[in-house]
Structure 1
Amino acid sequence: MTDYYPRTFFICGILLALLGGLLIFAGVMAESPPIPAAYMQLSLSVVSFCMSYLYPQFKQKDERMKEIRKQGVYYSYFAILGYLFLFLLLLQLNLISWDALLILNVLSALAISTVFVSWVILSKRY
């Protein structure tokens, strides 16, 4: 039986990346910042591409994949702390003047992407 899930994740990743690119393009053409949903769309495209790569390995549900998930979340925790420190520093020094909704959307998108990218990196390592 043919397994279509990796291909489906890849197609969804392309569609989500195109949609995120369209939202960013519309914001640039309107001479305003992109809407905050664009960052989440791009984050979801990263998730889809990562799952396209990881699905054949994740469906086994062995000890190796449990260890990759555990270590990926562990490393992502420190990366998210780094993102928070960086944003706090940039806000305190008045280098950026973003509103709360934009910061939360960017942090959420970074956190989601970091977890899945760390899983891909760790799956190559283990």
Structure 2
Amino acid sequence: MDYSRISFFVLGIFFSVMGGFMICASFMTNSVPSSMVYIQLAMAIMSFCLSYLYPQFRQKDERMKLIRQKGMLASFVALMIYLFVFNIGLQFDFFILTANELIHILTALIISTVFISLVVYSKIY
């Protein structure tokens, strides 16, 4: 029995429930959800991805090194695209964000992109 895999899955459920509760609470009060919800949902994605990837990450072989390299490259490219889109969007007032909201959104996007790209590349290789 692999308890690390189960613990990551339980953490994913915990973060999902917390994020869902905060979204429901904000809808019930007719307000916009806090930007911290994005990070909680990103942590849920990270936990579920780590639950899937844990048996493969225990192996320290060439395949896992290749998956990590490709995943980091894809995440870097996505980060540059995110920064470009946010820069253009803020410059031309396509959307109005505070610095705190922007940092929370970027953090959530980076966390999600890194771990989803690792899962995708682990399926490919």
TM over 0.5: yes
- Find the counterpart in structure 1 of residue 99 from structure 2: 100
Unaligned runs of 5+ in 2: none
Q: CA deviation at 1:30?
A: 2.2
State, as a whole percentage, how many aligned pairs show the same letter: 46
Structure 2 residue 17 is matched with structure 1 residue 45: no
Write out per-residue CA displacement over residues 51-106 of structure 1, whole angstroms, 9 at most, x where no aligned residue: 01100100111111111111101110010111111111222221211111001000
Output the aligned Cα RMSD. Answer: 1.1
C-alpha distance in 1 between matches for 2:55 and 2:91:
44
Unaligned runs of 5+ in 1: none
TM-score, normalization by structure 1: 0.93
3-state SS of paired residue (1:115): helix
Structure 2 residue 79 is matched with structure 1 residue 83: no
- Find the counterpart in structure 2 of residue 117 from structure 1: 116
TM-score, normalization by structure 2: 0.94
Q: CA deviation at 1:28?
A: 2.2
Q: Which moved more, 1:105-114 or 1:90-99?
A: 90-99
C-alpha distance in 2 between matches for 1:96 and 1:18:
29
Equivalences, count: 125
